Each structure stands twice: as structure tokens, then as C-alpha cells.
Amino acid sequence: ITSEQLTKETLATIKADNEKLNAYITIDEDAALATAKAVDEKGINADNLWAGIPIAIKDNIVTKGLKTTAASKMLADFNPIYDATVIEKLRANDVVIIGKTNMDEFAMGGSTETSYFKTTHNPWNLSKVPGGSSGGSATTVSAGGVLAALGTDTGGSIRQPASFTGVVGVKPTYGRVSRWGIIAFGSSLDQVGPFTRTVKDNAALLNIIAGHDDHDMTSSDKAVPDFTAGLDGSVKGMRVALPKEYLGEGVDENVKKAVLDAASTFKSLGATVDEVSLPHSKYGIAAYYIISSSEASSNLQRFDGIRYGYRAKDVKNLEDVYVRSRSEGFGNEVKRRIMLGTYSLSAGFYDAYFRKAAEVRTLMINDFKKVFEDHDFIIGPTAPTPAFGIGEDSNDPKKMYMNDVLTVPVNMAGLPGMSLPAGFSNDLPVGLQIIAKPFDEQTLYRAGYAFE
Ligand code: GLN
């Protein structure tokens, strides 16, 4: 099969699916076909697993000449003039970019319901959310539209939708992948990562996007190993940790069962599994929402109605441009985060909120360090429940935030994390989360590959 044939078939599938799933904001038919043709003419490099294959991109990753909205009215007509580093790398590896996927506005949310444009439906049950914020990317991979998609994960936005839709999603170590050209949410937490159907596909895609970038001073110059090496199915002698806090109150019984079954699987493969404690996990949500919202309030200052993005009509003066453009351009969830963030950072409240949250973050990092002194990886649920109903939590921000309790600690500590399919609860997929030491994605992939 040629890349052009595959791209044509992919376009037909995703266009038909989009009518019911709403996974895409933009499908880039002409450019995708042109790339595919060019790749065919040049000849496909057989060593590159992803050459000539169409993949989808979350719409907060900028793509030159291809509308990039972050699912916000603010950027509804934004056409970037450059490619994010991850996009440059994909293009250099002959990957075909097929379109931009739906998400929560500015990646703030866990259900894809805060998108300005539309709500994405879970392919397993159309009345359920696909998770979020990278819900469109997870959905199109789950539905068989594409073999891979990129997402971003600030507090769970790759792993939680992967869990809800039954696919493999990886958030790499903070610094492993360049953030240049990612529309920033929480700069100390954001990472780009792949969604795929299999662990090996995922490893091969991370190979392409990982690595140091001069444009991002937080990207690491550590060497990038071949993540597909070492996938031999063995976890013999490895030491697995199961934190007791991750199976506590609020975790669905079938989710618990899937994780305990996974623990048995690892044991039967020759690993040891110990119960451990991450005692500061319970403060994770509070600290995460203060830190991520503080960073968001700073990052979102640039959307002022002047430089680019939405500008209110019939304005009276400069103040009016700012106020009305932002009032009309941002949705409610984004405004909530900006208010929370500016409050936490303001004089008089900084010590009580931002500084406290930063201290909690250090305690959380130390919890993990301690566990990793004598363990190779951690397992637990990705999310406390399977996918919930569309509309079920969307008017209750605190309830929505609680869904992130098992994913945010990983971002707070900058660790690599994976979600992969581990069972079902009421006919909906359940994800197993695997967490490894900083820059040890190889162990994530080894463990995931042995398990799947
Ligand atoms: N659900 C979390 C939030 O709303 C995580 C979002 C993300 O990882 N981008 O902040």
C-alpha cells in the first residue's frame, strides 16, 4: 500500500467518523495528500516505522499554515507562521499530518467538554466523554481513524483520555520533548506525548519527537535511547510498587480489580510487587490547581486582543480592547483558572497559596524519590473511574478536578507515565497507569510491553 492510498482511506474514515465522534476540529485533506504523494515519490524508508503514516495532532500544537485553535474562540482563526519542534521532527521523518483534534479549551479540563467548538464522544459509548483534555486525539486512535496522535499532558490530559478510550498514552519525563510551539498552559508541567494502539508503536513515535531543542531551555540534553529496544516481554526480577493511596476511597471496584489483576500479572512474569505509600498524594489536587492556574494566568496574558487572536468589535479605548476581547474570547473554565491563578500569585496571598503549593510539590517529589530508591516502577489506576457521562460533571468544577487525583502527582514530579488498557468496567475501558523514574521511559515501555 502506498502512503497516498493509506492517506485517502484514512481521510474517508475520519471524515465519516467525525460526524458522530467530533474528534477533529480541522481535517487537512489537501496538504495530507500532497505530503503522502511526495513521500511515495521519494521512497519510504523501511527503518522508519512512521514514514508515510497519517497521524493526528492536538490543536494546541502549532502547525504552519494549518489552523491551530486550542479549541478557543480566542484562536478560532489563528494560522501559525511556524511549526512546533515536534511537528518539524514529524515532517522530517515523513509522517503525514492529517488534521487537528478537539480538546478542552487551552487544555483546561478532563472531558473535552470545555471546547469552544464541540464535544467529542467516546467511541465505546457515545453518551460518555472521551476524557480530556486530549479527548479528540484519544478518540480518533481508539476508533481506528489513525494509528497515532499527539496530545499534551499537564495534569493527566494524555493518560486519562487514553484510559477512557482504551488506548496507550504516554506522558514523557518533563524535558524529554520540546515544548517549543506548544500553546503553553502550565509551563513547569506541560509535556507532549503519543497516543497509539500498541506500546511498541508508542515507543517508536517517542523516538521521533524526543530530544534536546535550543528553542526550549527546559528540554533536556540527555541522550535519547531507542525506546523500542529492550521490548522483549521480560520484567523478571523487577521491583514494582503499588501505592496504597491509589486504591483508596472513590476508586471504582472494577478499576481496583483491574489494577490488582495487573499486579498478579507482573508477579507471574517474575517481578515482585510491594505495597508502598505516597503520603502527600492527598494534597496533589489542591497544589496542582494552584500551580497550574498560576502558570496559566501568566501564560494567557499574551491573548490581549492586540497581537493575535480574537479582538472585540466597536471598542472605545485600549482598556476596552483588553477587557472585552478577553471577556468574549475566553470560555468559563479558562476564566476560572485565570482568576484562581492571579489570586494565588497576588501580593498578600502568594505565601498562603502559591508558595505553600510549591512546598507541597517538593514533598510529593520526595515521596516518589523514596519509593524509587528500591523500586523500578509504580503501578496504579490512571483514573478513579471509567468514562463518565457527557454533562455529568461539567457543571461541577470540583468534581471534575477530583478525577485528576491519580495523574497530577506525575506531572508535579516531572516523571514519565503511561496509561494502557487493563480491563473493563461496565463495558467501558479501564487504564493501568505505570510510572517510572525521570528519563526512564525505557522501563515504562518494557513494563507496558510485557503487560499488554
Ligand atoms: N484535567 C486537568 C486540568 O484540567 C489536566 C489537564 C491537562 O493535563 N492539560 O488541568
> Which of 3, 137, 157, 297 is the catalytic position?
157
The band of 308, judged by pLDDT with boundaries at 50, 70 and 90, is: confident
245-264 as b/e: b if 16+ CB within 10 A: bbbeeebbebbbebbeebbe
ipTM for the complex shown:
0.98
Domains of the chain: 3-209 (3.90.1300.10)
Which residue among 192, 285, 292, 402 is best mutated to probe the pocket of ligand 1, counting the most ligand atoms within 8 A of its Cβ? 292
Report field, pTM of the whole predicted structure over 0.95: yes
Residue pLDDT, tens place only, 355-371: 999 999 999 999 999 99
**What's the CA-to-centroid distance between 400 and ligand 1, angstroms?**
10
Across the range 113-140, mean pLDDT stands at 98
Work out the mean pLDDT of the chain and round it to a whole number. 97
The closest-lying atom of ligand 1 relative to the alpha carbon of residue 158 is 8
161: closest CA among 361, 451, 388? Answer: 388
Percent of the chain with pLDDT over 90: 97
The closest-lying atom of ligand 1 relative to the alpha carbon of residue 288 is 10
- Report whether 225 contacts 169 (CB < 8 A): no
Q: How far is CA 204 from the centre of its chain?
A: 17
Across the range 336-352, mean pLDDT stands at 95
The band of 215, judged by pLDDT with boundaries at 50, 70 and 90, is: very high
**HSE-CB of 194 using CA atoms within 13 angstroms:** 27
- Report whether 165 contacts 139 (CB < 8 A): yes
Whether residue 44 is predicted with pLDDT greater than 90 in this model: the reply is: no
Instruction: Give the model's pLDDT for residue 47.
Output: 85
